[in-house]
Structure 1
Amino acid sequence: MSITRRSFASLLGVGAIAPTALWAQDDPVYEAVRSTLYGGRTDFEAGMTYLVERGNPDVVPALLTGMRYGRSREHDIAKVMETLTGVRHGTDWFEWMLWQERNPQIIPHPSLVPFKREVLLGIDQNFDVFLRPEYLQRDRMKIRFEEISWGGVTKDGIPSLDNPELISAARADYLKDDDLVFGVAINGDERAYPLRIMGWHEMFNEVIGGVPVALAYCTLCGSGILFETQVAGRQKPFVFGSSGFLYRSNKLMFDRETQSLWNQYTGKPVVGPLASSGIELKQHPVVITRWDTWKKSHPDTRVLSLKTGYRRNYGSGVVYREYFASPNLMFPVLVDQSKFRQKDYVFAVRQFGAARAWPLAAFKGKPVINDAIGGRALMLMGDPDKRSVRAYERGAHQFRTTTDGVLLDEAGNKWTITEEALVAPDGTQLPRVAGHISYWFAWDNYLGDAASVYGG
């Protein structure tokens, strides 16, 4: 989700939309910040002088928008921001965004809303459904408007797959054995969704095993989360798409009924009509694993066809190749790297009123971990080479595996592993617990001190 500054400048150009009537047109702050992109040289210089004399850093969020897309004016804008804040980040938009995240006490001047809205609607007027003025009041949003970033695509520029065509495993000859897939099994309905396809779409809306679900895959934060989309009290399941916006390097998805923006990582609406609804989507288990492994254990699985209705290069290792291979992030976000690198993988569980993460590296040479979350005992089985982790409740049992992968409890009883439960010889079942893989930075940034991390 990226685009060059040059290509954005061409979008703004002469065809930019007219100023909205969201703020008094004679307000000098509004006119000054707007001059960064839409004013002549004289107006721009006068505006920057005025902001320096005014001396309040509350205009920095708006200036950041102007600097990101400001063509040849970024150096002058940066000097004003440095004067107002006393910090030196030059024209480094990335570092300025991190500074902004570190300083939530700075409340943006009200002119940020009409200015940033004008800029974003100049990219895609379809963004208007997300950016209605009444939705952008600070006390009605669950996230900071100044931290919402354009990801480089228009609304639905990353198209969701809605009830896509599926084929049998035998017909999926386009897949290589080591291709990774999202494996889902609900009520005996087994599906595989290759990451090499989902990376281009980042969302599917399906009914699996009679349950309406959506897989929200944020490529930037490495997380694919399976949400149940039927919510109590609503007549129809939600259907989701990708908005084109990011928040702290995480995609903001939207529902097609109300056009509310949702946090992909938490399954909660954050901007729009549903922001104060209290809705939190229920998670269902999903696993990432190799295609050959999934196919062997689920011979009746169905898998995505290449006939998605879109022309993309669905080859192995194509989508986001450079990003996945790099230790760097594409968009700015604060992250504590004192113990883990920002793109280390963790397995994340948010259940039972608690949140806990297990580093994928913890499963090296230790395929079973007996642990707990929120007072609930868990057993986790992981394989770092396949990026796979599954979690189950374990009751009072302590589990281990033999060298050939057989799961045994403390008494030596053999348990059967299924996608929905652990099954004892007497038929007793311990249910699967929903979780997902994620880059460390997303877990750390969204949950921080509210979550715990397995330390071995």
Structure 2
Amino acid sequence: MKILLFLVGIVLLIGVEVARVYYIMPFPGSQVDEVVELAYFIQNYIWWFRIVGVLMIGYPAFFYLVGNNAYIKWTVASMLAFWIIVCYAFNFQFLADKMFYQSESVSLLKAKDSKIIDNQLVIGVSLNGKSRAYPIEIIGYHHQVRDTIAGQPIMVTYCTVCRSGRVFSPLVNGQPETFRLVGMDHFNAMFEDATTKSWWRQVNGTAIIGPLKGAQLTEITSQQMTLRAWLSRHPESLILQPDPKFKDQYETLAKYDEGKMEGSLEGRDSLSWKDKSWVVGVPMGLFARAYDWNELVERRVINDQISGRPILLAVEADSASFHTWVSVAGMDTLQFLLKDSLNVLIDQQSGSRWNWNGKCESGKYAGSQLEVLPSYQEFWHSWKTFHLNTERFIPPKAKEND
């Protein structure tokens, strides 16, 4: 009876430590099923499991360790040692916030003083005339960076496994909230708020479990492009600088922008419509559409409609900075093409010239400004997982050949 009690107790103690981390970290098979509720249950009752387990093994362990049977004594001691090793590993090495630390200080500099090279990808935010640029290879390690722009607190987030960048207001029920990286769900980073311990998805700012389940963080408009492209629009922008304490960690993402990292989690599949292919996703109310990055870079301009609303997607000459606009000026719906020799956009209706800010510089619509639409570059597996209603953009020629 004592040996059975000890074995059940030690399996319980080891099992809950492993399961608590396994279900919310990218271990083989862990991100496929709907297990976040189980993971949350284990997380919230972990100390009860530990107490029960220790009570189960306490007396049997003492009995066998002071006994005369050397084989049983060393077997029990070895199992206890293994449990201690598991506890250490799964509480101090494999937990998300023990692997990815937050920067203790946020340093932002103007372009003339910045250490960031201008072809790096950034998440750009502009509020009330103040602009900031956050390099992806920095926020990609930290997963979140907190800042304040024009008196407004913001939370810049990025998940490298989904290739998803989002910016949120860190206010919950009107009060400032603190978040920590707790793990991931369906390969997307999850944050835990300090007040209610609810878990929030990075890709859409939704609380998926806990007391605040269903609550939504307010998203703040942001754009992804190269630093050079961002500074051409916002020359006075401040730029987030690397924290010297994390130099080695940043270097692990040195090839992330270009999609040249190796590995199944953050590496890119250069083919189209594979799980790790790049897409640009455009949400529009109840509708969403994904555009193959290879197709977009090749064509550079795509005219389309989503739910009857005309849109324009365009990629700059750097093949990295992309834009999405509503292609309407006044009451007119426009179709665009690219004038390569001038590096400007031309609407086919009037021949007016438009710059890469979506503003008409000359012609019939001079002074008109196209409305910017939210759009995101992501891995295809991420976009289709969190936009179940998404459609794939199929070029007209491809449709004819189907």
Aligned mate of 2:221, from 277, 284, 289: 284
The residue that corresponds to 1:343 in the other structure is 276
Please say if residues 278 and 378 of structure 2, whose CA atoms lie closer than 8 Å, have aligned partners that are also in contact. Answer: yes
Task: Give the Cα separation in 2 of the matches to 1:349 and 1:34.
Answer: 51
Q: How far has the Cα of 1:268 moved from its partner? A: 0.6
The residue that corresponds to 1:170 in the other structure is 112
Q: How far has the Cα of 1:176 moved from its partner? A: 2.7
Is the radius of gyration larger for structure 1 or structure 2? 2
The residue that corresponds to 1:354 in the other structure is 287
Say whether residues 1:181 and 2:122 are aligned partners.
Answer: yes
Q: How far has the Cα of 1:328 moved from its partner? A: 1.4
TM-score, normalization by structure 2: 0.69
Call closer, same or farther: CA 1:303–1:189 in 2, change over 3 Å: same
Task: Give the Cα separation in 2 of the matches to 1:371 and 1:409.
Answer: 14
The residue that corresponds to 2:67 in the other structure is none
Q: After superposition, where does 1:293-442 map in structure 2 within 5 Å?
A: 293-306=229-242, 308=243, 311-313=245-247, 317-319=251-253, 325-326=261-262, 328-329=264-265, 340-383=273-316, 386-395=319-328, 396-403=333-340, 404-410=342-348, 411-418=350-357, 422-423=359-360, 425-442=365-382
Call closer, same or farther: CA 1:357–1:112 in 2, change over 3 Å: closer
Task: Give the Cα separation in 1 of the matches to 2:274 and 2:48.
Answer: 33
The residue that corresponds to 2:54 in the other structure is none
Aligned residue pairs, count:
337
Q: After superposition, where does 1:101-120 map in structure 2 within 5 Å?
A: 101=33, 113-114=41-42, 117-118=45-46
Please say if residues 416 and 423 of structure 1, whose CA atoms lie closer than 8 Å, have aligned partners that are also in contact. Answer: yes
Q: CA RMSD in A?
A: 4.3
Please say if residues 407 and 415 of structure 1, whose CA atoms lie closer than 8 Å, have aligned partners that are also in contact. Answer: yes
Please say if residues 272 and 294 of structure 2, whose CA atoms lie closer than 8 Å, have aligned partners that are also in contact. Answer: no
Task: Give the Cα separation in 2 of the matches to 1:444 and 1:199.
Answer: 21
Q: How far has the Cα of 1:63 moved from its partner? A: 12
Q: After superposition, where does 1:4-83 map in structure 2 within 5 Å?
A: 35-36=10-11, 38=13, 65=19
Say whether residues 1:241 and 2:180 are aligned partners.
Answer: yes
SS of residue matched to 2:252: coil
Say whether residues 1:195 and 2:123 are aligned partners.
Answer: no
| Identity, % of aligned positions | 23
TM-score, normalization by structure 1: 0.62
Letter of the structure 2 residue corresponding to residue 213 of structure 1 = I
Call closer, same or farther: CA 1:154–1:327 in 2, change over 3 Å: closer
Deviations along 1:85-133, whole A, 9 cap, x unmatched?
Answer: xxxxxxxx624x47x62xx6x999x8994599539998xxxxxxxxxxx
SS of residue matched to 1:196: helix
Q: How far has the Cα of 1:267 moved from its partner? A: 1.5
Q: How far has the Cα of 1:247 moved from its partner? A: 0.8
The residue that corresponds to 1:22 in the other structure is none
Task: Give the Cα separation in 2 of the matches to 1:67 and 1:191.
Answer: 35
Deviations along 1:198-243, whole A, 9 cap, x unmatched?
Answer: 2221112223355433221001111111224457xx3334444322
SS of residue matched to 1:205: strand
Please say if residues 123 and 133 of structure 2, whose CA atoms lie closer than 8 Å, have aligned partners that are also in contact. Answer: yes
Task: Give the Cα separation in 1 of the matches to 2:289 and 2:382.
Answer: 13
The residue that corresponds to 2:95 in the other structure is 153
Please say if residues 65 and 116 of structure 1, whose CA atoms lie closer than 8 Å, have aligned partners that are also in contact. Answer: no
SS of residue matched to 2:19: helix
The residue that corresponds to 2:76 in the other structure is none
Task: Give the Cα separation in 2 of the matches to 1:373 and 1:217.
Answer: 26
SS of residue matched to 1:417: coil
Please say if residues 422 and 431 of structure 1, whose CA atoms lie closer than 8 Å, have aligned partners that are also in contact. Answer: no
SS of residue matched to 1:364: helix
Q: After superposition, where does 1:110-149 map in structure 2 within 5 Å?
A: 113-114=41-42, 117-118=45-46
